[in-house]
Amino acid sequence: MIESEHNNLTPQKEQNWDARSKELLGILLNGGEFKPNELR
Protein backbone atom coordinates (compact mmCIF):
# COMPACT_ATOMS: atom_id res chain seq x y z
CA MET A 1 0.00 0.00 0.00
CA ILE A 2 1.28 3.50 -0.85
CA GLU A 3 1.74 5.84 2.11
CA SER A 4 0.60 9.42 1.76
CA GLU A 5 2.90 12.20 2.96
CA HIS A 6 0.82 14.11 5.48
CA ASN A 7 0.57 14.26 9.25
CA ASN A 8 -1.19 10.89 9.66
CA LEU A 9 2.09 9.02 9.88
CA THR A 10 3.21 7.17 12.99
CA PRO A 11 5.35 9.17 15.44
CA GLN A 12 8.43 7.25 14.30
CA LYS A 13 7.82 8.26 10.69
CA GLU A 14 6.85 11.86 11.50
CA GLN A 15 10.39 12.53 12.72
CA ASN A 16 9.23 14.94 15.41
CA TRP A 17 7.09 17.24 13.26
CA ASP A 18 6.28 19.61 16.14
CA ALA A 19 9.93 20.32 16.92
CA ARG A 20 10.82 20.80 13.24
CA SER A 21 7.87 23.11 12.61
CA LYS A 22 8.73 25.26 15.67
CA GLU A 23 12.36 25.46 14.55
CA LEU A 24 11.32 26.59 11.06
CA LEU A 25 8.86 29.15 12.41
CA GLY A 26 11.62 30.59 14.61
CA ILE A 27 13.91 30.91 11.58
CA LEU A 28 11.24 32.66 9.50
CA LEU A 29 10.16 35.01 12.30
CA ASN A 30 13.77 36.14 12.73
CA GLY A 31 14.17 37.05 9.06
CA GLY A 32 15.77 33.79 7.96
CA GLU A 33 15.07 31.97 4.72
CA PHE A 34 13.74 28.49 4.09
CA LYS A 35 14.33 26.43 0.97
CA PRO A 36 12.27 23.22 1.03
CA ASN A 37 13.64 19.94 -0.27
CA GLU A 38 12.32 18.74 -3.61
CA LEU A 39 9.42 16.32 -3.46
CA ARG A 40 10.24 12.70 -4.19
DSSP states along the chain: -PPP-STTS-HHHHTSHHHHHHHHHHHHHTT----PPPP-
Give 6's pLDDT tier (boundaries 50, 70, 90): low
Q: What's the confidence (pLDDT) of residue 31?
A: 96
- Interval 13-17 mean pLDDT: 71
Which pTM does this prediction carry? Answer: 0.52
What percent of the chain has pLDDT above 70?
60
pLDDT above 90: residue 20:
no
